[in-house]
Structures are given as structure tokens and as C-alpha cells.
Amino acid sequence: MGEDFLHISMHAIVGINTFQAMRITGKVKKRPLHILIDSGSNHNFLDLATAKRVKCDVRNVVPLQLSVANGATLVSSAMCKEFTWSLHGESFSSDLMLVL
């Protein structure tokens, strides 16, 4: 597998809590956002509908394949640049790959 092959766990896709994942509620522009922190994924992901709803800075990127734990693959061709969210008054920022 090359560098351009990303991994996202099935738990992250379906939103299941496990011992490797925890669901928290943060905020984006004062709006609540459910966040799944999952150690089984090697990058940060956001679904396209949420990205549009919170009006993040969506940019096209070279399409990258995402490998899901069940063997399926998805393609991400966009990212949300410097997505910022807060939790208990602390701000966090990261580039997020968008999943359709």
C-alpha cells in the first residue's frame, strides 16, 4: 500500500462506539457536532453534507482511495481545510478528508 491509500475503520463509517473509539459532542460555529474519535482511522474525515452545512472551506484534491475495515473502498476527492471545532472551551483545527 502506498502513501496515498488511507484507512478508515468501519466503526467510524457507522458511528459505533468501541473500546478504540469514543463519541463526543463538540461545537462548530456554536452548533453542536457529534465527533467520533477513532484510533482505527489514520486520518481525519468529515461527511460532505456536514461540511456544506457548517460552510467549511472545501477544496478539491487529487482523489485518494479510502480502505474501509470490511474491505470496501471509497474515494475522497475533496478536503475541508483547517476545520476548527471546540470542546469544553478548547479549540482544535485539522485538515479533514471529505467522504461522500
What is the pLDDT confidence band of residue 12, given thresholds at 50, 70 and 90?
low
Burial class (CB in 10 A: 0-12, 13-18, 19+), 66: buried
pTM of this prediction? 0.69
- Is residue 96 a contact partner of residue 82, using CB atoms and an 8 Å limit? no
The residue count for the chain: 100
Question: Greatest CA separation found in the chain?
Answer: 39
Domains and CATH numbers, the chain: 5-99 (2.40.70.10)
Residue 8: is its pLDDT beyond 60? no
Q: What is the pLDDT of residue 94?
A: 86
Provide the percentage of residues in the chain whose pLDDT is more than 90: 11
Pairing of β 58-68 and β 5-8: parallel
pLDDT one-digit tens code per residue, 87-100: 888 998 888 888 87
Cα separation, 47 vs 99, whole angstroms: 5
Distance CA 26, CA 32 (A): 6
Mean pLDDT of 72-81: 86
